[in-house]
Chains A and B, each alone.
Chain A
Amino acid sequence: MINKRLTILALLIFVVLILSGCADYKEIDETTLIKGIGIDLTEDEQIKYSLQIIQPSPNVSQGESQNGATSSGAVTISVVGETIDEASRKTISLTGRTPYYGHSELIVINEKVAKKGLQKYLDYLVRKHDIRGTSIMVFVKESANKILNSKHVLQKISAIGIQHSVNGMNQMGYNITTDLFQFMTALESKTIDPVGGIISLTKNLSSDKNLPQEILASFGGVIFKGDKLVDWLTPKETRGYNWVKEPKEVKGPVIIQVPGKDKTQKVSIEVKNSATKIRPVIENNKIKMEIKIKSLGFVIENMTPEIQIEDKKFRKFLNKMFRQTVKNEIEKTIQKSKQNGADIFGFAQVLNRKYPKKYQQVSREWDSILKDLEVDILIDAEIMRSHMLK
């Protein structure tokens, strides 16, 4: 009896082990490790799909460098397909291995694709389970393939480099970091429009011959209306967006021009502990928005040698200019948002949260409301310290 049971149990275990088919089993040397994805359109509107693949070289293990995995090289391949899935599978014809997206961290999208409407192109990336929702999305004027093929100053694998650059520039507020998940959330939402970061090729100013003429740099952002790219933001405008949406990230510098004959007299202010609140106000049945920003500044660079920071008047002036500059930056961005009818600040979202009924009433004509929306910007900012030890 016991023997019979044992036999059955052993058989069952055997079956579990053998017939489970090792459903998701993959040997890592039978997959291509993808770090970056690029999407372009060909002239006949087919998809040109680029993948940055890491070439794991066994030599790495021999202690060639101590920089960790970054010493492995990468190669960018490109295929044309009618759908992204087709293109993705076509890459096997080049590599002989299945693409593995689990570690991809960057999605580069060409302007043309974004202008056509992104939803259909992103569907595959969202549907496929192993693509990370935290992959950074960047938009480019050049072809995505070219960007992936361009050289990053430090990283051999440009996808990693771009991702670092985008993330790093965040602290200046001159770039926007949006990952796939955030982008899709904004895209699916009716009350907010998505934004994205950009990467571009800029001229190499250094005379280092090891660097190519054009190198990757990350400045600015893009705004969407629905799933279509509508406008590009300058770095300053991008920061205007970040003041409102990501105030914690912005570290400065806010540059203040000191009036006088000498145009080079400037003060840089580092920003810390910013916080923003957007509040809808309804006055006489008219919708108004109130943006309140609280911030602390530190003088980190003073290019006016003849004026001391301790001077009360000067400090007062700096305080005033600090608020003014921030306000200007925000206003410009709001202006751009209104022009394009893209509600990137999510004013509708704020309204819907506080006055859902009101929003229901106006949701149909929100676009026209946005155009004339009055936005009050109240800034409570002060320069606290001068970063000097006497």
Chain B
Amino acid sequence: MKIIEKLKNIFENNNKIYNQESLNLEDRDKLLHKIKFKNSMNENIEQIKAVFGESYDLNFRKIKIGQEKKVAVLFYISGLVDSNAINDLLKNLEVDLLQINEHLKKKKVDLEYISDHILDNQDVELLDDFDNAMEKATNGSSILLFEGSSFCMVCETKGLKLRSITEPNSEMSIRGPRDGFIESIVTNSSLLRRRIHSPHLWIKDMKIGSLSRTRVAMAYIKGLASEELIEEIETRLRKIDWDTILESGYIQEFIIDQPKTIFPLVERTERPDKVISNLVEGKIAILTDNTPFVLILPTTYNMLLQAPDDYYEIFPIGSFIRLLRFIAFQMSTILPAFYIAVITYHPELLPVSLFLRIAATREGLPFPILFESLLMESIFEVLREAGLRLPRSIGSAISIVGALVLGEAAINAGLVSPPMVVIVALTAIASFTAPSYALASSARMLRYFFILLAGALGLYGILIGFILSLVHLCSLRSFGQPYMQPYAPLIWSDLKDSIVRHNLWNQVKRPKLFGGRTPDRQPKYQKKTSPEEDTK
């Protein structure tokens, strides 16, 4: 404590001391909070230079206002600001010279007058908090300092270069909007606003991260989302004390209920339409600055296997595709294990000709089937990871090497059996049907668990594994909501949108546990009646 006090004294005497190398981050942070704007402009400039240190991207533009040639300094960080906005600002300051002159005769420099009358078309704010002003500057605002004033004027001149709104790569759809979130939280919330033209969509923001001070916002439909849930999420968010939030994944990890699970307890998406469709069911979205991934919570297992296309296509097709996806996903976890179990424990289950085929291919193979399947699965995972990380130009080469050379050569050399390659390939393809990458990843891990169980206990082992994972799934909670709803607990009305999707006009109710506050989505059944009935 004493040291800090001492340092503070030194600092007040000489700003340069701030740059002493002996100060660690914590001390610097504490000092930063204590700095105040001085009346002298030059001193203020010195202070800014002191806290930013040797950074090269600082800009101080001296301007003179009015006849008195009042000196002011515009401070901004290059690259973060829009040069047009800066020019507008400067122009505005010089336009009504007369006005200023008259005004300045009465008073000295009145910042309020300038912000209200001269820069009235600009987003301007008066601040005397040095720390806050510096944060604004790092956000792209320009700071106007005046001689003889301990206030600064923060002008919104943000002009960050952003990529344009494109279709999200990780979540494609055949039918549906092609816009996706980008790295700017403001743009992202505008994408949400675009879809709900109602003030009931509330987007509440906060800053998280002691260093990064990342803007994080909760979006929800006021009156629909449960107040307790909103409160709970807000408390959990406010509790986060981490230095930098680079991605929404950081937040996810801090706020989930059960860290010891491989299943994703929070859904993330790049699609605004997906977010909105969840918001209107009473869920809550968390937007994070600098990432296109928005979190949706609470999450259910059911949600993770639903894709936007299911709703955009007519319901029989939507249901069929969804059913297919459910089956394929189950297959991706269990298929290799099932193959091993049948071959090693229950060969009598196979049709004779199929069994003979497989038996013929297994003749003289060097590895036991369990090891072979673990090997092949691991090779596939390695290939997949490599394909993901490699530059795109080399990626295709890897896929050729992986698919042709490894697969073909391994079979020709008699290292692995062709049916195993078929099984691994089938599993891989099936695993890509899951719309949620996180869920597919958990299936990848489960697969090994099932393979080991099948190798040790056969179909009995698979059954044990199935029961264990089912028990685990049923015990999971996402923000207090059962993960496996509407299956466990069984909610009959919600089953209309589960493995199959019923007609929209038939889904009168919102999901019971989310949208319980305003349960009805629509007036009673809106089934299209026949013309004869209409006339009656």
Q: Which residues of A contact B (CB under 8 A)?
A: 16-18, 20, 22, 24-29, 33, 54, 56-58, 60-61, 68-70, 72, 100, 102-103, 105, 130, 132, 160
Contacts and interface: CB of A to CB of B under 8 A. Distances in A.
24 contacts: A16-B457, A20-B456, A20-B457, A25-B344, A25-B345, A27-B362, A27-B368, A27-B369, A28-B369, A29-B364, A33-B356, A54-B356, A57-B363, A58-B361, A58-B414, A60-B357, A61-B361, A61-B418, A69-B356, A69-B360, A70-B353, A100-B347, A132-B348, A160-B352
B344 A68 contact: no
B365 to A, nearest CB: 7
Contact of A33 (B343, B359, B365, B456): B359
Contact of B347 (A20, A28, A57, A105): A28
A100 B354 CA distance: 16
A211 B414 CA distance: 36
Interface in B330-361: 343-345, 347-348, 352-361
Given A57-B360, A58-B361, A69 B368 contact: no
Contacts of B343: 28
Nearest to B453: A17
A18 to B, nearest CB: 8
Nearest to B412: A62
A24 B459 CA distance: 11
A380 to B, nearest CB: 40
Nearest to B345: A24
Interface string B417-428: 110000000000
A181 to B, nearest CB: 15
A28 B455 contact: no
B497 to A, nearest CB: 36
A130 B349 CA distance: 11
B456 A17 contact: yes
Given A28-B344, A28-B358, A103-B355, A58 B457 contact: no
6 A-B pairs with least C-beta separation: A69-B356, A102-B348, A56-B360, A60-B360, A69-B353, A68-B353
Contacts of B455: 22, 25
A29 B365 contact: yes
B362 A28 contact: yes
A102 B361 CA distance: 18
A18 B461 CA distance: 13
B458 interface: yes
Contacts of A29: 359, 362-365
B255 interface: no
Given A22-B344, A54-B356, A160-B352, 20 more contacts: A18-B456, A22-B457, A25-B344, A26-B347, A27-B368, A28-B362, A33-B355, A33-B356, A56-B356, A56-B359, A56-B362, A56-B363, A58-B414, A61-B361, A69-B352, A69-B357, A69-B360, A70-B353, A102-B347, A103-B355
Bin the interface of chain B by size. Answer: 20 to 34
Contacts of A68: 353, 356-357
A22 B370 CA distance: 12
B343 to A, nearest CB: 6
B448 to A, nearest CB: 12
A57 B358 CA distance: 11
Nearest to A35: B352
B452 interface: yes
Nearest to A22: B456
Contacts of A130: 348
Contacts of B359: 28-29, 33, 54, 56
B360 A61 contact: yes
Interface string B442-454: 0000000000110
B83 to A, nearest CB: 57
Contacts of B457: 16, 20, 22
- Most chain B C-beta atoms within 10 Å of own C-beta, residue among A18, A57, A102: A102
A105 B352 contact: yes
Contacts of B360: 56-58, 60-61, 69, 72
A17 B450 CA distance: 11
A26 B348 contact: no
Given A56-B363, A57-B363, A58-B414, A26 B344 contact: yes
Nearest to B354: A69
Interface string B79-118: 0000000000000000000000000000000000000000
A24 B357 CA distance: 21
Contacts of B369: 27-28
Contacts of B414: 58
Nearest to B419: A61
B446 to A, nearest CB: 14
- Most chain A C-beta atoms within 10 Å of own C-beta, residue among B359, B364, B455, B458: B359
A17 B457 CA distance: 8
B344 A27 contact: yes
Given A58-B361, A61-B361, A16 B456 contact: yes
Nearest to A18: B456
Contacts of B368: 27
Contacts of A132: 348
A7 B357 CA distance: 43
Nearest to A59: B360
Contacts of B364: 29, 58
A20 B343 CA distance: 18
Nearest to B449: A13
Contacts of B362: 27-29, 56
Contacts of A25: 344-345, 455, 458
A103 B355 CA distance: 9
Contacts of B345: 24-26
Contacts of A69: 352-357, 360
Interface in B8-55: none
Contacts of B456: 16-18, 20, 22
A29 B361 CA distance: 9
B338 to A, nearest CB: 15
Contacts of A58: 360-361, 363-364, 414
Contact of B452 (A17, A60, A61): A17
B451 to A, nearest CB: 11
B449 to A, nearest CB: 9
A44 B333 CA distance: 58
Contacts of B361: 58, 60-61
A33 B453 CA distance: 26
Nearest to A24: B345
Nearest to B356: A69
Contacts of A20: 456-457
A132 B347 CA distance: 12
Contacts of A28: 343-344, 347, 358-359, 362, 369
A62 to B, nearest CB: 9
